[in-house]
Every structure is written in structure tokens, then in C-alpha cells.
Amino acid sequence: PTTQLPSQLPTRWARETPGAIESGVIYTVLAGIQDFINHWQQEFPDTKIALTGGDSEVLLKYLQTQFPETAVQFIIDPHLIFRGIGNWELGLS
């Protein structure tokens, strides 16, 4: 099944099963993103990090709440992958 991400970051300690599942999934994903970013920045300190895709704006809001020092570094472009595919098709680098 699919579902929309809530517009606001849910409470971490939910008191019912559906809310606890939602909270657990979202906070686990955010921790994974933060861990990936930390490792990426250690390996490639002079690069930028982009958030793309349809949920990028919601994820940015979540990350701004949980990890504000990291969130200010993002390039946000929900259509970046499509620009890249278009450039590739045109033979542009």
C-alpha cells in the first residue's frame, strides 16, 4: 500500500498502532538520511547534496525540524532527475 507523508512531522511517541508505525518509519528514514549525509560529507567534503523527487519538500521540512544544521546545505529540485535525463538525451554534460 502507499500513503502520503503527513505535512507535519508526527509526534515521536504515538499512543496508537497506526501512529506508532508512521512515526517509526519516518524517524528511521530521517536518521538514515542523516547518517548517509554525514558519511558522504566525510568522503566528499567539497560536494553538494540535492533533495529531489515529489516528497523532497516534505522531507526538507522534516529534516529542518530534526537536523537544522544539515538541512541548510541542501539543493532542492523536485525535477532534477528529469533535467539530467533531458540533458543526457540531448548529449549535454
pLDDT in tens, 26-52: 999 999 999 999 999 999 999 889 998
Q: What is the DSSP string of 13-67?
A: S-SSHHHHHHHHHHHHHHHHHHHHHHHHHHH-TT--EEE-STTHHHHHHHHHHH-
Is residue 92 scored above 90 in pLDDT? Answer: no
Is residue 89 scored above 80 in pLDDT? Answer: yes
Per-residue model confidence (pLDDT) at position 21: 94
Average pLDDT over residues 50-55: 87
- The three-class DSSP label of residue 85 is helix
* Stated pTM of the model: 0.79
Within 8 A by CB and 6+ apart from 56, the residues are: 76, 77, 78
HSE, CB side, 13 Å, CA atoms: give it for residue 41: 12
Average pLDDT over residues 72-89: 88
Per-residue model confidence (pLDDT) at position 68: 92
